[in-house]
Amino acid sequence: MKAVFSLLAGILFMSNMAFSQVKWSVDPAHTNARFEIKHLGIAFVDGEFTKLEGQAESKDSVNFDKGTVSFSIDVNSIDTRIEARDNHLKSDDFFSAEKFPKMTLINATLTKAGKGKFKLTGDLTIKDVTKKVTFDVVQNNGTIIDPWGKTRAGFTAKTTINRFDYNIKYADKTAAGIDAVAPEVAITVNVELVKN
């Protein structure tokens, strides 16, 4: 009987552990999603999305291995510092922002890849296409308590995608046959999480 009670106690403990995930929210004031793409084969143009939100869960306040992440970006918030270019990027040549106003990353899981390093693999949806993507992630200086008593953690995630894979098919070329806008897009997301 004692063994049975011990087994039941163990199961109850594990069950409580399973439901005691720490929940985090993305702090949009200290988070940015940036991109960089080659222009005319000779230089790079960069920009960012200024409106985004997201959530994360971790085992505890310091252990993010096997943690989960979800993210949503307002495509209409794109900002490359040139209004005419922003409007072109929102058009059907690129993001079709009126029809597809959100870009999302869901079902994303962090896997430890070294001290303070992770791989983040999840489903990235741009326009009407969803593909699996993996980010290289660095946790910046662990977890801290801010001056107002809130627990925070910061991460930098990087990946490169091919825009043609997501039906972003603008394909003008120079007379020499060089892409006006390269297929490869480098993405960097700097995220600050606040414990709920």
Range 73-110 burial, b when 16+ CB lie within 10 A, else e:
bebebbebeeeeebeebbeeebbbbeebeebbbeebeb
Cα–Cα distance for residue pair 166/95, rounded to 1 Å: 9
In the chain, what is the straight-line distance between the N-terminal and C-terminal CA atoms, in Å? 41
Taking the CA atoms of 90, 91, 92 and 93 in sequence, report the sign of the dihedral they define. Answer: negative
Q: What is the pLDDT of residue 61?
A: 87
* pTM listed for this prediction: 0.86
Helix, strand, coil % over all residues of the chain, rounded to 5: 20, 55, 30
Q: What is the pLDDT of residue 17?
A: 46
Tell me the residue type at 53: E
DSSP characters over 114-173:
STTEEEEEEEEEETTEEEEEEEEEEEEEEEEE-TTS-EEEEEEEEEEEEGGGGT-----B
**Ranges under pLDDT 50 in the chain:** 4-5, 7-9, 11-19
Q: What is the pLDDT of residue 2?
A: 57
Residue 17 φ/ψ, nearest 5 degrees: -60, -40
Structure tokens at 148: 């107002």
